[in-house]
Amino acid sequence: MSNAPVDTGRRRFLTWTTAVVGAVGAGYAAVPFIASWNPSAKAKIAGAPVQVDISKLETGQLILVKWRGKPVWVVKRSQEVLDNLGKHDDKLRDPGSDEGQQPDYAKNPTRSIKPEIFLAVGICTHLGCSPTYLKGDFAQQVEGINYGFFCPCHGSTYDMAGRVFQNVPAPLNLVVPNHYYVDETTILVGLNEGEATA
């Protein structure tokens, strides 16, 4: 055992130096770890809003865009279709769109901002199949109604406002995504008006 005096100043200096080097090292290790929690660029793009140009959309036409990996339909409805929307409410499961499949601004008889333009996520609310748009021959599925959406997987049917008919497997109306009109011919799908696009 040595009887040499203990240099407490040097010991304190080494302790503090070790603590500082350890803290800096922990910081360098933590930054990439915490950064890994952020979504990747690919994930950010997948969830990003999508612009839809409807300038060439014709009456009766459906265009499909992808948003968050899901098909979104944009349909231009005719005046005949709009006139007939309220005539079959007694055949619908949720005619007033009381369930939450649409933003408040689309909680109306046409389930849209502009009556002639309808947007919906093209996925059946039963088991996730993609319904088919039938124009003219939808009456084979629902008597007296010429236009609508038919899911071939299990026979669910929706009207031209995406409202589900009674006595089919689908429990809910089609989902209407958040969207707004940037101008007369451009729709931004994925955001409500006034929300940031960051």
> What confidence tens digit (pLDDT) does each residue in 136-148 have?
778 778 888 889 9
Domain 46-189 CATH assignment equals 3.40.50.720: no
User: Model confidence over 24-55: pLDDT tens digits?
Assistant: 887 777 667 666 655 555 555 556 899 999 99
pTM (predicted TM-score): 0.74
CA-to-CA dists, residue 163 to 21, 22, 195, angstroms:
63, 61, 27
Q: For position 184, what pLDDT does the model report?
A: 93
Residue 82 above 60 pLDDT? Answer: yes
Amino acid at 137: D
Spatial CA neighbour of 122 closest among 112, 114, 132: 132
Percent of the chain with pLDDT over 70: 86
